[in-house]
Structure 1
């Protein structure tokens, strides 16, 4: 263990001799002072790892000394020790970012615990987390060999995300590599599960998860009422781990009532999945019933321009015309700020829908911009970037205002995204769609082991572009690449975030219902 240097400041320091001897026997080095003024002088010429500071001293008080210490070295941990339990002293000390707060009389073990908590915390947490994951690894591996239902896949994926977030700060990269290999194996097995079961989810009287097209009817509508307004936020392209990264900021204002991840339809892409949410229809039926609102991959023009129209139609079909609703799509910072500024004007709505496109823009710009590639080089960085955006976004401002106005909050997404690592060769004609994780067209040639293929799109309620057109969806972390200019194409798109295919990250996505804290 590295030697730990402690500065202990107390006008009755002689009475603490047994405590100091106890620490010195454990190889801590303790320097003592009898006043705040003396402590500040000692700190000018010496380096310490932590300060124990008495609050009630003649001359400079503990709080005044604390303020001076923090001005000179804000990162130095200070533990306040006091006889007083007065609330204002605690609040003042906490406001000055103390590391701990102990009430006299203190015993040596309290002091030792505070040292461990503040100076050895990272190592202890790292060791315990590693040990716990090693035990859980075997259980996850066993679960992975037996998982056979969509509910079990949700549970397994939640476990993997939990451990991924737990392990991201530990100092043992080998553990993280083990988890990554376990996630890859899970995605291989998940691909087989979806290949076998996905078409049956659209057959009558078959047990199936909530999917994009029945999400609104089954999950949102039961939450709506005239008594309490609802804010439905659809953050485009939001993975389950990204939701977990910024959930703590939402929890400051909202208490979670329920969280039930649901499944994106295939293709797990915006024009299919999000249109399905707002229309309450699968793409095949959107094309047939609303040809004026639906566009296929090869059609010109925007593919998500009619979500508000689809929502209006679905509200009427479900007999919800008595509920006043409005729809907003935020595609840039300016439009986000404008809605946040005018949010109070939405208080008369029973349902306010906000589609927020930031994460989608981020993931696409990662492909195009070297700066974003650097910032989001892996899933940990991608979570961190999402968290940083959310903390400073107009979306959080809207959520805070919604809480103050008593809105129920629903947060969800249309699909997730995956960091693609490996190319899979595909050949198609000039009308083949361009997406990297799915293709639709005629005469597709591909590696069968790499894809889920729907040779008859009708079986999974997708439109056919022509008589012989099919859909293929990339599995695991693959992305489709054409043989022409292959090497350039592969180096350009490798390690970018894409969606549209079959993976846990793209298909198992968050849906959370929250109520405002009083």
Structure 2
């Protein structure tokens, strides 16, 4: 292991000999300087891992020295040491990205702790995270054998996401592989659970989770009032893990009041799940009650053109037409920027709904564009890309403005998405739907073990395209492929993000309520 080199700058350095001896006994290499000017000159000829810098020195002050160091070596950690507890010095130092702040007199252990925190931090965190996950692994394995309710599935999935995000920050591929295998096993068991229980959720007096069609009435309506405007943001195709990585950014502006998971209906596809949220109805009811708004898979034309109409019918049905509401769908950057410019006009609405389509476009472009395939080659990269988009998006600007205008914020989605790996052969006629994660049509031939089948669509409140239509859903990370041109099809779609089927990633999704800070 390389010796760590420290530069210690203090005009009274002779008084610090015991500290320097203490560090040298622990194999740290310490170089000393008595002034800021000498320190700057030393840094031009030698490289160091960290600098301890006295704030109160004659000539160049500590803050002036700090500025010069940061101009030349922005990533070099600098620990400021000062006698003064004056706030402006702390603020100035923190503004200049100091690594730590110590107040004299310092004892050797404080110095050692600062070194560990700044130089050994990633190694120590990595070791601790690995050992914690190793303990948790056994518990998750036991939970997987026992889990038998939708609440337990939510808890388990949230736990897997937590560890996935923790482990992605450490360089231990072995641990990550173990977690991946646990996710695959979890999805396999979740598929069996859904097969056994999904249809029961629609029976009277059943113990069903909050689902797409009950979300608005049961979760959103209780948050609405005339006293405070509400901004409801539905980010299309947002997985739970993607929400967790941009939660800290929203926390800068908003205080989280509630976080719940709910279940997307099947198919976990926009025309079904999102229309169900806005209508408060299942697809077969939408088709029956609003044939002018509903389109089946094989119908010509856009399938998601009437969300605002569905929302208005639901508000009316729930006796909420006294609330003033406005609906916006953002499908490109230009539309997002335009809404940001006019955002202040929304404060007079009781409810403003924004459907934001970026994540959906990202998953589709991953299928079609090589560059996005590389940028989002796995879940870690996919999260990173989503985070980068969110930080620079008009959506974040809208959330910032909403906070300033006193809006309550509700953030949710219609369904998630999964990286598909394993092809599953299916044969259907000309009228079979095209989605890779579910198929509806008549005379479907498929691998029975690999799919969830509903031969009677009415059982799960889905419309029938014709008398003998059935629905099949891909489970886990599989996707449907036709036997003709099979190899081309498989290589084109493998390792792309798809939705419509049965997986933790697609079905268990976030619903979060915030109040402005």
- TM-score where L is the length of structure 1: 1.00
The answer to whether the aligner puts 1:229 opposite 2:251 as a matched pair is no
Aligned residue for 1:467, secondary structure, equals coil
Residue 415 of structure 1 corresponds to 415
Residue 12 of structure 1 corresponds to 12
Tell me the distance in 2 between the aligned counterparts of 1:206 and 1:43. Answer: 71
Shift of 1:275: 0.3
Shift of 1:169: 1.3
Alpha-carbon deviations, 1:110-164, whole Å to 9, x = none? 0000000000000000000000000000000000000000000000000000000
Shift of 1:506: 0.1
The answer to whether the aligner puts 1:435 opposite 2:435 as a matched pair is yes
The answer to whether the aligner puts 1:400 opposite 2:400 as a matched pair is yes
Alpha-carbon deviations, 1:268-311, whole Å to 9, x = none? 00000000000000000000000000000000000000000000
Alpha-carbon deviations, 1:168-214, whole Å to 9, x = none? 01111000000000000000000000000000000000000000001
Shift of 1:2: 2.0
The answer to whether the aligner puts 1:87 opposite 2:106 as a matched pair is no
Residue 64 of structure 1 corresponds to 64
Aligned residue for 2:198, secondary structure, equals helix
Shift of 1:331: 0.3
Tell me the distance in 2 between the aligned counterparts of 1:327 and 1:158. Answer: 31
Show structure 2 runs of 5+ residues with no match: none
Residue 119 of structure 2 corresponds to 119
Aligned residue for 1:75, secondary structure, equals coil
Aligned residue for 1:260, secondary structure, equals strand
Aligned residue for 2:113, secondary structure, equals helix
Aligned pairs for 1:481-492 (under 5 A) are: 481-492=481-492
Tell me the distance in 2 between the aligned counterparts of 1:388 and 1:223. Answer: 30
Tell me the distance in 1 between the aligned counterparts of 2:342 and 2:431. Answer: 44
Q: Count the aligned residue pairs.
A: 517
Shift of 1:62: 0.2
Tell me the distance in 2 between the aligned counterparts of 1:195 and 1:183. Answer: 18
Tell me the distance in 2 between the aligned counterparts of 1:242 and 1:303. Answer: 25
Residue 277 of structure 1 corresponds to 277
Aligned residue for 2:502, secondary structure, equals coil
Residue 426 of structure 1 corresponds to 426
Residue 138 of structure 2 corresponds to 138
Tell me the distance in 2 between the aligned counterparts of 1:274 and 1:499. Answer: 13
Shift of 1:44: 0.5
Residue 175 of structure 1 corresponds to 175
Shift of 1:244: 0.3
Alpha-carbon deviations, 1:238-257, whole Å to 9, x = none? 00000001011000000000
Residue 298 of structure 2 corresponds to 298
Tell me the distance in 1 between the aligned counterparts of 2:372 and 2:345. Answer: 35
Shift of 1:100: 0.3
Tell me the distance in 2 between the aligned counterparts of 1:277 and 1:287. Answer: 15
Aligned residue for 2:492, secondary structure, equals helix
Residue 153 of structure 2 corresponds to 153
Aligned pairs for 1:35-434 (under 5 A) are: 35-434=35-434
Aligned residue for 2:348, secondary structure, equals coil
- TM-score where L is the length of structure 2: 1.00
Shift of 1:316: 0.2
Show structure 1 runs of 5+ residues with no match: none
Tell me the distance in 1 between the aligned counterparts of 2:479 and 2:337. Answer: 36
